[in-house]
């Protein structure tokens, strides 16, 4: 007992700020060492920049600069500039200096979800070099540009503003520049960063992205002048509900109303795709009076209601208005620009859903050109326009690609084939916590397979045609060999000039081959 008392007397219960939690657990957000941390910092900033532009219909213009300040001490300065909507000056301190603060806690497809990444980058910079983040930003038509330097007070989880300057914005610039000085290993991170930017350019062909670094310069000019339709903010789908969600929606919906709202009104006005008729059919099925006041539901009733909402078969599928797929045309452009293949087939499937979450699958197949020849199809995976570079082996797309018998589609390995899979969803079904591999949810797997097969059929037509063209060409070459001889024989027989026969024979062969091509409707120019 004496030992226990002594040990107990040393125990101290205390609260930890979210900033301190993530400072101590930086690996959770990928900031585990100077290589990963530098890669992660660049990713987070680029993804924020893309969200700040394309979510508002702006053609993104993103400039990434990496400066190695001290190679011995591994100190690197990262600067990312965009032409996005900027951040209201009153929000800047919290957006960069307070963990769990942001504008993305809504149902909508975006690259970032919690804005956690940028705070982690700020934390990592200040703990490794002691330097603040520098932010320069202006919103559209703003008359001032705001320049901030700030750090995070880790114990309090609050921003500490070191500097706030106002600069005249006579040119009406808008956008955001973020600058961080951190411990980072550029030579270790370079390859991953380059691959990341290349793949980002593929999936956002409407963006101009440049990278300047001590040893690599990349410049991806936009290949298209159309941004995909920005996603709208959606409502929760009844199939994805739990008690806590119900409780918080009821609290919000009831507050400030005189008459207690009814159950049917609550369902109609708070959930995705629930009209009055659907709501009433559901309530009948579930055994609830549509007119009962929602305030009178007990915890048991809420549990039962949530369960039945998840089980009910009669809901409309979630709509895809909160998603923002690329579209097959843009996807093809991106693939052509980066992989420069001789043939591309692409498709954007119709919206589908799993467990109340809408999703869209887009697939492209690229053949030949700069696609490397390999024993397996090269797989490029994307989720909500973010390239996934790790854990390919565990991904549902790899599984689908491997189970397809590519012989059916005239592909014989080794072959120059790349498969590009892009999944958009308000909730990507990631496997595990690394957020790099997508789980094999049956609905998602089915869509990916359907999309790949659809593209593969187009590829087969192309390869079949190519085969035929090749055999025609071979025939032409073979026949051509005899033209001279036949022409000579004919000229001897008829006494006419050999040259005339030669020309005529060549014409005949050409028109014969052309006719065959036309008959198959596969003239190259028409592809």
Contacts with a second copy, 75-94, as mask; x by CB under 8 A? ----------x--x--x--x
Task: Decide whether 212 or 307 has the Cβ nearer to a second copy.
Answer: 307
Q: Which stretch binds a second copy (CB under 8 A): 134-142, 410-418, 497-505, 516-524?
A: 134-142
Interacting residues with a second copy between 139 and 168 (CB under 8 A): 139-141, 154-155
HEC assignment per residue over 204-255 = CCCCEEEEECCCCEEEECCCCCCCCCCCCCECCCHHHCCHHHHHHHHHHHHC
Query: Does residue 69 bind a second copy (CB under 8 A)?
Result: no
Q: Which of 5, 217, 259, 375 binds a second copy (CB under 8 A)?
A: 5
Considering only 244, 370, 402, 467, the residue that binds a second copy (CB under 8 A) is 244
If the CB atoms of residues 37 and 418 are measured against a second copy, the closer one turns out to be: 37
**CB closer to a second copy out of 131 and 254:** 131
Burial call 73-104: b when 16+ CB within 10 Å, e when fewer = ebbbbbbbbbbbbbbebeebbbbbbbbebbee
Longest Cα separation, the chain: 127
Burial 267-284 (b: 16+ CB within 10 A, else e): bbebbbebeeebbeebbe
Alpha-carbon distance of 35 to 42, in angstroms, equals 11
Which of 31, 39, 96, 101 binds a second copy (CB under 8 A)? It is: 101
- Which two three-digit tokens encode residue 307? 């369960």
377: exposed, middle or buried (C-beta count within 10 Å: 0-12, 13-18, 19+)?
buried
CB of 243: closest distance to a second copy in angstroms?
Answer: 4
- Least distance from a second copy to the Cβ atom of residue 475, Å: 55
What's the CA gap between 335 and 358, in Å, rounded? Answer: 25
Q: Note whether 382 and 430 are within 8 A (CB).
A: no
* Window 367 to 426, contacts with a second copy (CB under 8 A): none
Q: Does residue 307 belong to the site contacting a second copy (CB under 8 A)? A: yes
Contact present, 323 and 425 (Cβ < 8 Å): yes
User: Does residue 8 touch a second copy according to CB under 8 A?
Assistant: yes
According to the binding rule CB under 8 A, does residue 442 interact with a second copy? no
Q: Which of residues 110-129 bind a second copy (CB under 8 A)?
A: 114, 126-129
The CA angle 462-377-405, to the nearest 5 degrees, is 70
Local structure of 362: helix, strand or coil: strand
Q: Give the chain's end-to-end CA distance (angstroms, integer).
A: 86
Q: Judged by CB under 8 A, does residue 172 bind a second copy?
A: no
- CB-CB contact of 268 with 276 (8 Å): yes
Smallest separation (angstroms) from a second copy to the CB of 2: 10
Among 299, 481, 521, 527, binds a second copy (CB under 8 A): 299
Contacts of 375 (CB under 8 A, 6+ apart): 413, 414
Identity of the residue, 53 or 278, whose beta carbon is nearer to a second copy in the bound complex: 53
Q: What are phi and psi of 53, to 5 degrees?
A: -105, -65
Which one of residues 432, 474, 497, 508 is an interface residue with a second copy (CB under 8 A)? Answer: 432
Quick one: tokens of 500?
Answer: 């005339």
Contacting range for a second copy; rule: CB under 8 A; set: 218-226, 260-268, 294-302, 460-468: 294-302
**Among residue numbers 215 through 234, which ones bind a second copy (CB under 8 A)?**
230, 233
Which strand (E) or helix (H) includes residue 174? Answer: none
Size of site (CB under 8 A) for a second copy:
66
Among 69, 71, 105, 372, binds a second copy (CB under 8 A): 105
Question: Exposed (0-12), middle (13-18) or buried (19+): which is 46, by Cβ within 10 Å?
Answer: buried
Residue 71 Cβ, how far from a second copy at the closest point, in Å?
Answer: 14
What are the structure tokens assigned to 133, written together?
């983040």
Token duo for residue 321: 């208005």
281, HSE (Cβ side, Cα atoms, 13 Å): 9
Residues 13-32 within binding reach of a second copy (CB under 8 A): 13-18, 20-21, 23, 25, 27-28
- Segment interacting with a second copy (CB under 8 A) among 50-58, 191-199, 450-458, 463-471: 50-58
**Residue 295 touching a second copy (CB under 8 A):** no
Q: Which of 243, 404, 513, 522 binds a second copy (CB under 8 A)?
A: 243
- Binding-site member from 45, 46, 78, 95 for a second copy (CB under 8 A): 95
Give the pairing type, strands 357-367 and 430-431. unpaired
- Please identify, using beta-carbon distances, which residue of 132 and 368 lies nearer to a second copy: 132
SS3 450: helix
> Minimum Å distance from CB 303 to a second copy?
4
Nearer to a second copy, 8 or 477 (CB): 8
Does residue 300 belong to the site contacting a second copy (CB under 8 A)? yes
- In the complex with a second copy, the residue whose CB is nearer, 214 or 434, is 434
State CA 11 to chain mean position distance. Answer: 47
Element (H, E) at 18: helix 18-24
> Could you list the residues that contact a second copy (CB under 8 A)?
1, 3-5, 7-8, 10-18, 20-21, 23, 25, 27-28, 55-58, 73, 85, 88, 91, 94-95, 98, 100-103, 105-106, 114, 126-131, 139-141, 154-155, 230, 233, 242-245, 248, 299-300, 302-303, 307, 430, 432-434
């Amino acid at each position: 007992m004496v030992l226990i008392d002594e040990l107990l007397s040393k125990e101290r219960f205390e609260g930890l700020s979210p900033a301190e939690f993530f400072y101590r657990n930086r690996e959770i957000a990928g900031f585990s060492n100077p290589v990963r941390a530098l890669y992660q910092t660049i990713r987070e900033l680029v993804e924020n920049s893309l969200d700040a532009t394309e979510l508002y219909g702006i053609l993104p213009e993103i400039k990434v600069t990496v400066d190695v300040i001290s190679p011995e001490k591994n100190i690197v300065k990262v600067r990312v500039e965009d032409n996005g909507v900027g951040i209201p000056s009153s929000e800047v301190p919290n957006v960069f200096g307070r963990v769990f603060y942001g504008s993305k806690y809504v149902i909508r497809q975006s690259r970032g979800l919690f804005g956690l990444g940028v705070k982690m980058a700020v934390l990592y910079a200040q703990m490794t070099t002691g330097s603040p983040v520098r932010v320069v930003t202006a919103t559209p038509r703003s008359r001032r540009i705001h320049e901030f330097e700030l750090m995070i007070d880790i114990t309090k989880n609050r921003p500490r503003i070191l500097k706030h300057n106002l600069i005249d914005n006579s040119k009406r610039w808008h956008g955001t520049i973020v600058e961080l000085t951190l411990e980072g290993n550029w030579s270790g991170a370079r390859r991953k960063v380059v691959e990341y930017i290349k793949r980002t350019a593929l999936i956002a062909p409407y963006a101009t992205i440049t990278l300047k670094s001590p040893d690599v310069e990349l410049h991806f000019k936009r290949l298209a002048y159309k941004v995909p339709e920005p996603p709208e903010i959606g409502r929760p789908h009844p199939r994805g509900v739990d008690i806590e969600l119900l409780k918080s929606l009821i609290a919000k919906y009831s507050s400030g109303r005189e008459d207690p709202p009814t159950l049917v009104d609550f369902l109609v006005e708070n959930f995705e795709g629930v009209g009055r008729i659907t709501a009433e059919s559901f309530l009948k099925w579930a055994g609830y009076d549509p007119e009962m006041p929602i305030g009178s539901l007990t915890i048991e009733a809420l549990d039962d209601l949530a369960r039945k909402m998840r089980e009910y078969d009669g809901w409309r599928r979630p709509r895809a208005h909160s998603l923002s797929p690329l579209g097959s045309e843009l996807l093809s452009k991106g693939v052509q620009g980066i992989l420069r293949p001789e043939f591309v087939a692409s498709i954007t499937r119709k919206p589908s859903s799993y467990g109340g979450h809408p999703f869209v699958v887009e697939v492209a197949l690229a053949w030949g050109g700069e696609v490397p020849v390999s024993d397996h199809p090269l797989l490029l995976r994307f989720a909500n326009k973010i390239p996934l570079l790790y854990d390919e082996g565990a991904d549902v797309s790899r599984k689908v690609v491997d189970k397809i018998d590519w012989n059916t589609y005239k592909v014989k390995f080794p072959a120059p084939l790349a498969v590009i899979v892009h999944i958009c969803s308000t909730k990507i079904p990631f496997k595990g916590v690394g957020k790099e591999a997508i789980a094999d949810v049956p609905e998602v797997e089915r869509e990916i397979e359907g999309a790949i097969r659809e593209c593969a059929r187009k590829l087969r037509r192309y390869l079949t045609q190519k085969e035929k063209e090749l055999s025609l060409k071979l025939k032409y070459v073979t026949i051509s060999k005899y033209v001279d001889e036949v022409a000579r024989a004919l000229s001897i027989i008829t006494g006419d000039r050999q040259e005339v026969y030669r020309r005529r024979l060549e014409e005949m062969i050409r028109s014969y081959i052309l006719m065959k091509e036309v008959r198959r409707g596969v003239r190259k120019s028409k592809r």
